[in-house]
């Protein structure tokens, strides 16, 4: 089945529909308004595209500004990194401190232990 869109003035389209009422009544022709068919007019499409283009343009401008901000931050980061590299060139402390221990511990044991057995065993206990 072929489908057509009719464009024209309102009065002219109404007269075409009136002339074809017999065919419409028999079911040979069906007329569906564009809004019910899900079709969109060219004007509506243009309006939608214009609004979407505005959003795209706004986002593009925002994207460009963010790119510039990122570039500025990268430059600032590189500058700070160069300062950090400069700080690494500081001379080290040349103070020489002797690391000797003044306490001398002898390896010998100076304490003498006296071992005395003071227990006396009685003869009666030793027999048992």
Percent of the chain with pLDDT over 70: 74
Q: What is the residue range of 53's domain?
A: 40-85
Gap between the Cα atoms of 100 and 47, Å rounded? 89
| Mean pLDDT on 11-20 | 85
Summarize pLDDT for 52-98 with one digit per residue, the tens.
999 999 999 999 999 999 999 999 999 888 877 665 666 677 777 77
User: For residue 16, what are its two tokens?
Assistant: 């075409």
**Mean pLDDT in the chain?**
79
Please indicate, yes or no, if residue 68 is contained in any of the structural domains: yes
Gap between the Cα atoms of 78 and 81, Å rounded? 5
Q: Are residues 79 and 59 both part of a single domain? A: yes
- State how far the alpha carbon of 42 is from the alpha carbons of 11, 39, 47, 58, 99, in Å: 21, 10, 9, 24, 92
Q: Are residues 32 and 51 both part of a single domain? A: no
């Amino acid at each position: 089945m072929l489908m057509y869109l009719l464009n024209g003035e309102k009065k002219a389209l109404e007269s075409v529909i009136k002339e074809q009422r017999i065919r419409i009544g028999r079911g040979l022709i069906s007329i569906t308004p564009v809004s019910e068919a899900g079709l969109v007019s060219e004007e509506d499409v243009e309006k939608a595209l214009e609004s979407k283009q505005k959003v795209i343009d706004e986002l593009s401008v925002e994207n460009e500004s963010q790119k510039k901000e990122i570039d500025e931050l990268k430059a600032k980061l590189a500058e700070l990194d160069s300062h950090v590299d400069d700080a690494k060139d500081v001379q080290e402390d040349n103070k020489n401190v002797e690391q000797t221990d003044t306490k001398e511990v002898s390896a010998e044991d100076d304490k003498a232990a006296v071992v005395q057995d003071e227990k006396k065993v009685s003869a009666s206990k030793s027999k048992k």
